[in-house]
């Protein structure tokens, strides 16, 4: 097989991405030189290129509320200076806003700049990566929960979902089928996943479990929404809520030890990206439904 060399510069985006409110992998930029044409050569070069980076990313820190007896590592010490922006494919369908809507959005964007998601790596146990994040959101808890359960429309909010639909499983339970985007270094594509979902409307919690996917061996995604006090400086009378998201994934392919730290970083960044998508997409979702 003919070999060719691809140079992936510092401006290239490295990511593994999966299902938005249900599940996800992540993205990050790294300079890497990979030889394509031999899977063994590519794996060796990728491992060598990422191992030093993975070592630099490790820094142990305990996460409050983490699982007892598990190894806890944080790989996200500070958010990037500039939040990443996701461009949705269906921009043409976005509703137009009047002057009041524009003023409301400007106010929310200003407050959102002060409300970054808090995300940390929790554990790696038996090949399962667990990451937990939380976000203070300017919205009633009931509205945030309604958005998360809008499975047919979540591809308009979460940029890593190409399509989403709700089906009924053989046992009569609700299932969510999604076509999700993934990217890693210079490569990208889509994959299909089917997830079982358990909703607790009274507690405003969601639990997603893997039914079928070639991309993951195991998956569990948890969401919890609860009312929260407004942050300092918020206008009186505003309603805020806290959204918590826990992601637990076993990749379909065993992760080599030299890049395990990089894989942790990918999952942390993906949970952060999902929460940012939720934060930025809620005003548009609200306007489209009004």
The answer to whether position 85 is within a domain reads no
Instruction: Record the pTM.
Output: 0.64
Range of the domain at 254: 4-80+95-289
Chain segment 83-123, per-residue pLDDT in tens: 433 333 333 334 444 555 666 666 565 555 558 899 999 99
Domain tally, the chain: 1
Sign of the CA dihedral 241, 223, 278, 136?
positive
Residues 41-92: pLDDT tens digits? Answer: 444 444 444 444 444 444 333 344 444 333 333 333 333 444 433 333 333 3
Residue 205 within any structural domain of the chain: yes
Query: Is 226 among the domain residues?
Result: yes
Which tokens belong to 91?
């921009």
Tell me, yes or no, whether 163 lies in a domain. yes
Q: Does 37 fall in a domain?
A: yes
Residue 87 lies in a domain: no
> Has residue 89 been placed in a domain?
no
Q: Which residues lie below 8 Å from residue 43, measured CB to CB, with a gap of 6+? A: 256
Residues 82-95 as b or e (16 or more Cβ within 10 Å = b):
ebeeeebeeeeeee
CB-based burial of residue 244 (10 Å sphere; 0-12 exposed, 13-18 middle, 19+ buried)?
middle
CATH code, domain carrying 210: 3.30.530.20
Residue 157 included in any domain: yes
């Amino acid at each position: 097989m003919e070999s060719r060399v691809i140079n992936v510069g510092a401006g290239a985006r490295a990511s593994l991405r999966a299902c938005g409110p249900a599940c996800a992998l992540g993205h990050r930029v790294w300079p890497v030189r990979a030889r394509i044409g031999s899977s063994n050569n590519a794996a060796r070069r990728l491992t060598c290129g990422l191992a030093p980076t993975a070592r630099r990313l490790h820094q142990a820190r305990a996460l409050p509320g983490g699982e007892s007896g598990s190894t806890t590592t944080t790989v996200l010490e500070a958010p990037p200076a500039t939040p990443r922006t996701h461009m949705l494919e269906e921009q043409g369908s976005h509703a137009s806003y009047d002057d009041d809507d524009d003023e409301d959005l400007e106010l929310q964007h200003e407050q959102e700049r002060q409300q970054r998601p808090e995300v940390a790596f929790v554990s790696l146990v038996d090949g399962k990566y667990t990451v937990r994040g939380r976000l203070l959101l300017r919205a009633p808890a009931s509205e945030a929960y309604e958005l998360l359960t809008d499975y047919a429309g979540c591809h308009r909010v979460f940029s890593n979902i190409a399509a989403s639909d709700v089906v009924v499983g053989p046992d009569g339970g609700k299932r969510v089928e999604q076509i999700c985007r993934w990217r890693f270094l210079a490569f990208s594509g889509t994959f299909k996943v089917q997830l079982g979902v358990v909703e607790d409307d009274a507690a405003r919690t969601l639990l997603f479990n893997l039914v079928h996917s070639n991309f993951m061996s195991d998956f569990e995604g948890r969401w919890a929404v609860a009312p929260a006090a407004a942050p300092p400086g918020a206008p009186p009378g505003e309603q805020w809520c806290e959204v918590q998201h826990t992601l637990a994934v076993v990749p379909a392919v065993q992760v080599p030890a030299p890049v395990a730290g990089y894989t942790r970083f990918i999952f942390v960044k993906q949970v952060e990206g999902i929460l940012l998508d939720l934060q930025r997409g809620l005003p548009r979702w609200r306007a489209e439904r009004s």
